[in-house]
Amino acid sequence: MKETASPMYNLMMNPKKVVDVAAFLEEDIGTGDITAAIIPEAALATAEVITREDMVLCGQLWFDEVFKTLDPDVSINWLVAEGASVNEGTLLCTLQGSARALLTGERTALNLLQTLSATATVSRQYADALAGSDCKVLDTRKTIPGLRDAQKYAVACGGCYNHRIGLYDGVLIKENHIIAAGSIAKAVQIARAQTTVPVEVEVESMQELLEAIMAKPDRIMLDNFNLADLKSAVKLNAGAAELEASGNIGLVNLRAVAQTGVDYISIGALTKHINAIDLSMRITLVHS
């Protein structure tokens, strides 16, 4: 079982498949921006977006789509490449166009950019922590509702990898699935008969690990195993299935977990425990 194809691929092939900002604009604008209406309709403005903290830039396509949707004539000039690491105070981009469009789109565009950049920034920290290792850091489905593909794109942008995108592209058999099916072996057998997608089993003990190995899934998730047990699991598995460590793993113990010999480490914090990057958009009226 390999990590799933990155949403980055989807973006390159079909940007609109992932970059859809209609719902985000709708929740903010509703029946209309009654504050921007005080600005003359013909007024033009320029704007600059800067970061107030170190970051990995991610989300240009979403940012651009907000203003393109509001007014196709708004021009945006990015001064920093997508995925680049930048320092506090860096000018990220400049904008020019309708003052109303810039004012109306400001918050939605920044919300998306600051959230995806935060995801990419955290992901880069984890990727850097395993530099030189064969072990890969995976994301999870613990994403912000409505931003699943976007956050998984940001994870890839930051240098980590995607686990399954949703419930449709990979089987992950957990405790309740096993109870309902009757056993690990039966759960894997049923899953194999129903679908051709990769099959993964989560185990919580060495006994369950042995049962999982005998059932021959594509991958086994070792849930909350300590370092000693992870090493024993790798030895017992002997390459029979890919191994993924999960639970109570952070930057402080990430490399130690990787050194046990597991193939993957899944980290919910990549998309769940993020603090939005502090960005500022300064608008200057140039004509009214």
Annotated active-site residue in 3, 106, 208, 223:
223
| The pLDDT value given to residue 12 | 63
DSSP string, 184-207: HHHHHHHHHHH--S-EEEEESSHH
Number of structural domains in the chain: 2
Let me know if residue 90 belongs to a domain: yes
Q: Do residue 280 and residue 262 come from a single domain?
A: no
Q: Do residue 239 and residue 279 come from a single domain?
A: no
Task: Output the pTM of the full model.
Answer: 0.94
CATH number reported for the structural domain that contains residue 249 in this entry: 3.20.20.70
Q: pLDDT above 70 covers what percent of the chain?
A: 94
Q: Is the pLDDT of residue 112 over 90?
A: yes
pLDDT digit string, tens, across residues 33-84: 999 999 999 999 999 999 999 999 999 999 999 999 999 999 999 999 999 9
247 is in an annotated binding site: yes
Q: Is the pLDDT of residue 30 over 70?
A: yes
Q: Do residue 102 and residue 176 come from a single domain?
A: no
Let me know if residue 29 belongs to a domain: yes
Annotated active-site residue in 28, 48, 53, 142:
142
Annotated active-site residue in 33, 48, 148, 174:
174
Q: Do residue 51 and residue 93 come from a single domain?
A: yes
Contacts 24+ apart (CB under 8 A), 242-251: 242/1, 242/218, 243/219, 244/138, 244/200, 244/219, 244/220, 245/221, 246/202, 246/221, 246/222, 247/223, 248/224, 251/125, 251/126, 251/129
81 is in an annotated binding site: no
Q: Do residue 252 and residue 280 come from a single domain?
A: no
pLDDT digit string, tens, across residues 151-183: 999 999 999 999 999 999 999 999 999 999 999
Residue 218 is part of which domain span? 161-266
